[in-house]
Structure 1
């Protein structure tokens, strides 16, 4: 067969060939440019408004004590990388399995490249997915997420703190499920920022894992801080913080809206996730329920704001906010005496109503206002199925409806009577 040299002259004899070759050359050039394109700002994370995050570690230079304490809070620990430091459950043989039935089991396994939840059917591996993100500080429990094609999914097994064991994840059916999708709205309350890279309305959403700030950290409540850090570093003698938001300077409703964005029930967003920022008006970003539901119809999980608003304590003052009782920079979980002191700042010395039981029991009763007036109650929304249990076990969560609970009062009084009186 004769062969012909591939020359420019020969190509010019065939105009159609010239067109095709030209288009191919352009395509190759464009593709090579795209494939060679680098991330113009590697490591830089900006919100939708173009405000740049500094990372909470940058706060430590000037606010080391606050920063160090914040690292121990449930807010900061609400999402972390899935490492041995943060995963609470056991991987020890005999403690690392959850049986759905005699044939199906999910085992928690440590492998060379991470921790895995592995589904077995009659001792044959069916599916294995890695722990990538821990969700939950471990105060109540932890759930776990894994990455797949820039999408996030929840793993089927959860750690339940009250029983110190693995359980079926809350709301999951009584079978192995690996496909529960995690949305940007989920991340909005368990992370400081997550960049969505899928088009609006496309489900499941896809995220840029390199532009994800885990934990609810400093910049969630003070705003993106890169401009602040740059300015203060260049002007170390400037004592007034610039380009940063101090929630203490905001109005009562602005402070309440900030907390309510995650503790105000199941809000339906009207703007993209992570659009709402500290200082914004909640109703500009979410459909807000303006009705006043009865406290008994409000779940103790996730809607502390509505319970607080229904409380007489809240209604009788113009200043009470979440921050009146909570120092978000400190881990204060379980310190009932500390919280009771904050109650007494209003409920003594002629300010507000005094506890009537102080007349018979003295000041000892004022060391635990919390268990009497804000008892632990079972959540209707968060319940897990423990190994071998037919009925789900509800998480016990502190009610934020401050009221009189006669049964709780009786229980506390019985406990006080058992304790020896201090002379």
Structure 2
């Protein structure tokens, strides 16, 4: 089947759009561009430094003090491994943690280890990842966010988790539904090629003619605002907060790409950070990266803050809370009351509960049933990002 000449332009147009989209997403300061290139070119040293910074943040560690880490390893290596994690110990020392554990009692190795740790920390300072007092710098934060972002996309894209879903409401360009005769004003990418070819064959045409062309009727998208509530209480320390952050990045990336607005509320014993629903992916990424675990959980404050943050326009408004404990501050009745207020404001609430106990599941059911959202009881951490995305897709 021979295609009309003007369709040969389609591939060129698509490639140009992809390049422009990539250039737009990579607009940044020169220093950030260098970091991004290092990550994309798989610079192992840079990637390892970014992972170490992420592990520090996820475990509530604000700085890399070589002498303190060394003393902890000498006094109780298993405790040091539990506090700092294998990634940090390997980055700071340059040795595999198992090798350190076997040799930590040897005086010669201790001297070598201490000197090497100081040298490695100085190199991270020279690179700008750490400051004068070994604290994590803004550059270190940006590197950590780039690493987390790239790892999450690498994790999800091969699994098809960024596929399209149809929205319930309307806007200019949405998802295709039915077909109609092609018009010159239609976009080339909206041509329903298979149906156009079938039409030509049915008409006995050897060449696909313009009159045979069909284009998809677009079911347009509407206003959708979603706020991601990230539990940063002490019990989320380590792997839990790591997967929670990556799930938030996946949600923000997908939703903002779809022209939906995403907000963020980081909460523990109180609301720590908040970003009103917006289309600024880099801002959401930066705030998520900085999150450190704290103390207790106050569900009332996060729902109350979210009610304030949603706009007053006519839109689908949804709060999705990720937590491992429903309420350790205040009463359950307060949580139920504020959930009712959210429902009255047109806000639905979904909860992704990580290994909730019986009381937690019961309270979560009350909140989600009252507000019209969904409850996801999670036991396997590797599924959290997929669940968050599925909850988002179900809104569309």
- Shorter-chain TM-score range: under 0.3
Give 1 or 2: higher strand fraction: 1
**TM-score (ref. length: structure 2):** 0.23
Higher Cα radius of gyration: 1
**TM-score (ref. length: structure 1):** 0.22
Taking CA–CA contacts closer than 8 Å with sequence separation of 6 or more, which of the two structures ends up with the larger relative contact order?
A: 2
Give 1 or 2: higher helix fraction: 2
